[in-house]
């Protein structure tokens, strides 16, 4: 897992999640590493870079994700490109979060 995350570039990180690992780029969850397989969230940009690829759920009940074949893991340029393209597209699709005003928060007494 550490090797794969390293191949995604210096801005990639992982965090334990659901008994497996979430994979992040610049704080954006781009996929999961489960059962020694890398699953990236499906994006048009990622699919274009991967070409013909498997789609499968990373765990029972999950939505299908793009499976990055193990024979692609050694291609650092491809892996970093996949991470960048996936994060960029996910960030662009993300709805803007409403700002939380300090005045809106209830004050604690005590």
Query: Which domains does the chain possess?
Result: 2-96 (3.30.1460.30)
For residue 110, what pLDDT is reported? 54
**Contact assessment for residue 12 and residue 23, using Cβ atoms and an 8 Å cutoff:** yes
User: How high is the pLDDT of residue 19?
Assistant: 86
Instruction: Say what the pLDDT of residue 17 is.
Output: 86
SS (H, E, C) 20-40: EEEEEECCEEEEEEECCEEEE
- Residue 41 CB: number of other CB atoms within 10 A? 19
Check residue 102 and give its pLDDT: 52
Positions of the chain with pLDDT under 70: 96-110
Give residue-wise pLDDT tens across range 76-86.
999 999 999 99
């Amino acid at each position: 897992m550490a090797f794969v995350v390293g191949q995604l570039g210096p801005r990639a990180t992982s965090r334990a999640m659901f008994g497996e690992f979430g994979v992040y780029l610049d704080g954006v969850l781009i996929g999961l590493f489960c059962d020694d397989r890398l699953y990236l969230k499906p994006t048009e940009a990622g699919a274009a870079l991967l070409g013909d690829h498997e789609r499968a759920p990373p765990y029972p009940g999950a939505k299908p994700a793009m499976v990055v074949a193990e024979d692609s893991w050694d291609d650092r340029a491809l892996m970093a490109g996949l991470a960048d393209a996936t994060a960029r597209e996910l960030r662009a699709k993300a709805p803007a979060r409403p700002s939380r005003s300090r005045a809106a928060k209830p004050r604690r007494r005590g």
